[in-house]
Structure 1
Amino acid sequence: MAAAASAISYADKFTVYCQAVEKQLKICGFKRNVDVLVLYLAGQGLRSIPSLSRFHRLRYLWINNNKIQDLTFLMKNYCLTELYLNNNELTDISGALKHLRVLQILFLHNNQLKNLGKTVKELKGMISLQTLNLFDNPLAQDPDYRLYVIYSLPSVQLLDRKSVTQRERESAFHLYNRERSCVVQSIAFGKRVNAPLETTVGSSRCIQPARRLMMPSGCEFGNHTNKVPFENPEDAVLLRAMTRSLMEFSSVDWNKVATCQERQLENKVEEPHEKLTVQFR
C-alpha cells in the first residue's frame, strides 16, 4: 500500500510539473525544445522537478516560491545566466550548481542553507556571477558572513541587494588572506628578509584579522600610473607586493676565474671575484 501511495504521489507531482512546463511553452510560443531560452515555473507548489536537460539552451529559469529540496534536475543546463531559486526548502547545494560557469544572477535567499563554507565552495567556479542573494538563510547569521562571501567570490558586485564597496573588498582581503599579510610584512623595498609564514589552527575560514590597508582615494590595485602618496609606508609596501614581482640575477666574469689546474700550479690563494647583481621589477 505504501509503495502504491508513493507511486501515485510521484505521478501527481510529475503531472503538475508537466502541466506547468506545457503552459509556459504555449504562452511563449515555443515549438521545439531547442528554442526554449526562458522557463517560468514559480509558485507551482513543486517539490521536485525531473531533469531539464531537454532544454539545453535554457538561459533564464524561475523556480522560486516552490518547495524544492533538490537541484539535480539542473545538471545539464550549462547555459543558464539567471537562476531564481529563492523561497524554497533547499538545505544543501553541493554538487548541483558548480557547472554553471556563465551564471550572472543567482537568487538563493529564504531557504535553509546552513553551511557557509560548502555553499561558497559550490559557487566559486561561477566566474561571471555578479548578483547573489543569500540572505534569510541560517548561514547568513555568521558574524563575518558578508566579508567572507566578498573575499571568496570576487566577481560579485551586488550581494544581498547591496553593492559591494572597495572598502569591503580591502577589509575582506586583510581578514582572510593572512598568509599574504605575513609575506608583506617580510618585504622591505627590494630587500628580502627571512620571516616564517604563520599558520592558523582551526577552521580554514576563521582567521585572525590583519591590519587593514588605508588606501588613498582613487588608488586601485594594479594601477601602475597612479602616484598618490600613502600616509603609512607599510601601505605602500603592501600595494607594491600586490602589483610587482622582484627578480634578481647574479653573474661573474668566468674569464677571470682560474681553473683547477691553474690554481694547483700557481699555488696561491685565489682572490675573491667581483659579482655583478641586477634586479628587475
Structure 2
Amino acid sequence: MERYKQENVHPLPKRVIQRDRDVTHLHLARRGLTFIPDLSRFSMLRCVWLNNNRIREVSRASFNCCLTELYLQDNDISSISGALRHLTCLQVLLLFNNQMKCLEETVSELKNMQDLHTLSLYLNPFTQDPDYRQYVLHHLPSVKFLDRKEVTQEERRRAFKLFGVERQRVLDTIAFGRRALPPPTGRKTTNSITKPVGQQGSRKRCTDSRSDDRENPSVPKSIIQFSIMNWTGSSTSQWNHLHDSSKPASGILTVKLG
C-alpha cells in the first residue's frame, strides 16, 4: 500500500522555459554585475531588474525596443547617452542613485518615450541643480510621477513659465491661425557711424532714425495691394462666338497702400 501511494504521488510540474522568446520578465538584481549582458535575444522581454549592481555603462544593444519597465537604480552609471532612446515603449524607468552628471544629455535620451509615466532620477549629481525638477517636467510632459512624487498642474505651469519663454512669445503673436508680424520700425544702432563730409575731412556722427527710413531703400516697408475686377464687363463665350464688337470693356482696378 505504501509503495502504491509513492508511485501515485505527482508533484507540481515545474515550468521550464525552453525558448528565448518565452521570457517576459528577467531578474538580475544583486548579482554583482559590472556590465549589462546582451538581452536583445529575448524578443518578448518586458521587464528587467538590474538594480543594486556595479554597472557603469549601458549599451544600446542590451535591450529590445518592446521593453516597458527598466530598473537600473543603485549602480555606478555615469551616462545613458545613445543607449535608451530606442525604447519608445518604456513606461517605468528607475535610475536613481547613480553617477550621472549631465541633465540635458539624460533628458534628451528620454524625449522619444511618449508613454513614460514613472521616472526616478534622484541621488544623481545633476539633481543638485535648483531647476532640475522643472527642467525634466517641461521636456518630458508624459511623466506623471517624478522621484516618487506625483506631478501637479501647478508644477507644470511653473516649468513652462521658466523654460517656455520663447514658445510663449511665439504663441502670443499668433492670430487667426497665422503669425502676426509686428509693424516695421526703424533700425536701431548701438555703435555710432561716422563718415567724411566735404573736402576738409571733417566728420559728423550719423545715426539711423525713423525719418531716415523713408529715404533708405534697404528698410522694409509695409505695402498692401488689392485688385477689383469688374465682372460685368467681362466677355462671355457668346460674345466671343459672335465677334460682337459692341461688348462692354472689362477692367481691373489695382490699389496700392504704402
TM-score, normalized by the shorter chain, greater than 0.5: yes
Q: Counterparts of 1:29 and 1:195 in 2: how far apart (Å)? A: 74
- What is the count of residue pairs matched by the alignment? 187
**Counterpart for residue 125 of structure 2:** 138
Work out whether 1:68 is the aligned partner of 2:55: yes
1:218-245, Cα deviation, whole Å (9 max, x unpaired): xxxxxxxxxxxxxxxxxxxxxxxxxxxx
Structure 1 pair 28/141, CA: closer, same or farther in 2 (3 Å)? farther
| TM-score after normalising by structure 2 | 0.64
After superposition, residues 51-200 of structure 1 pair within 5 angstroms as 51-72=38-59, 74-186=61-173, 192-194=180-182
Retained in 2: the 8 A contact 1:65–1:86?
A: yes
Aligned residue for 1:106, secondary structure, equals strand
More helix per residue: 1
Retained in 1: the 8 A contact 2:227–2:255?
A: no
Aligned residue for 1:61, secondary structure, equals strand
Structure 1 pair 73/177, CA: closer, same or farther in 2 (3 Å)? closer
Retained in 2: the 8 A contact 1:75–1:99?
A: no
Q: Counterparts of 1:28 and 1:72 in 2: how far apart (Å)? A: 31
Work out whether 1:49 is the aligned partner of 2:36: yes
More strand per residue: 2
Shift of 1:50: 2.5
Structure 1 pair 100/28, CA: closer, same or farther in 2 (3 Å)? farther
Q: Counterparts of 2:34 and 2:15 in 1: how far apart (Å)? A: 24
**Counterpart for residue 31 of structure 1:** 18
Aligned residue for 1:39, secondary structure, equals strand
Work out whether 1:254 is the aligned partner of 2:229: yes
| TM-score after normalising by structure 1 | 0.59
RMSD (Å) for aligned C-alpha atoms: 3.2
Q: Counterparts of 2:49 and 2:183 in 1: how far apart (Å)? A: 52
Retained in 1: the 8 A contact 2:36–2:62?
A: no
After superposition, residues 198-277 of structure 1 pair within 5 angstroms as 253-255=228-230, 272=255
Q: Which amino acid in the other structure matches residue 156 of structure 1?
A: V
Query: Which piece of structure 1 moves more, 183-192 or 39-48?
Result: 183-192
1:29-48, Cα deviation, whole Å (9 max, x unpaired): 32211100000000111111
Q: Percent identity?
A: 49
**Over 6 Å off, 4+ runs:** 188-191
Retained in 1: the 8 A contact 2:117–2:142?
A: yes
Q: Counterparts of 1:169 and 1:52 in 2: how far apart (Å)? A: 36
Q: Counterparts of 1:105 and 1:157 in 2: how far apart (Å)? A: 11
Retained in 1: the 8 A contact 2:85–2:112?
A: yes
Q: Which amino acid in the other structure matches residue 150 of structure 2?
A: S
Q: Which amino acid in the other structure matches residue 230 of structure 2?
A: N
Provide structure 1 residue ranges, at least 5 long, that are not aligned to the other structure. Answer: 1-26, 197-249, 260-265, 274-281
1:56-90, Cα deviation, whole Å (9 max, x unpaired): 21100000000001111654411110000000000
**Counterpart for residue 8 of structure 1:** none
Aligned residue for 2:230, secondary structure, equals helix
Q: Which amino acid in the other structure matches residue 77 of structure 1?
A: N
Shift of 1:184: 4.1
Retained in 2: the 8 A contact 1:186–1:195?
A: no
Q: Which amino acid in the other structure matches residue 229 of structure 2?
A: W
Shift of 1:174: 1.6
Q: Counterparts of 1:145 and 1:119 in 2: how far apart (Å)? A: 12
Q: Which amino acid in the other structure matches residue 46 of structure 2?
A: R
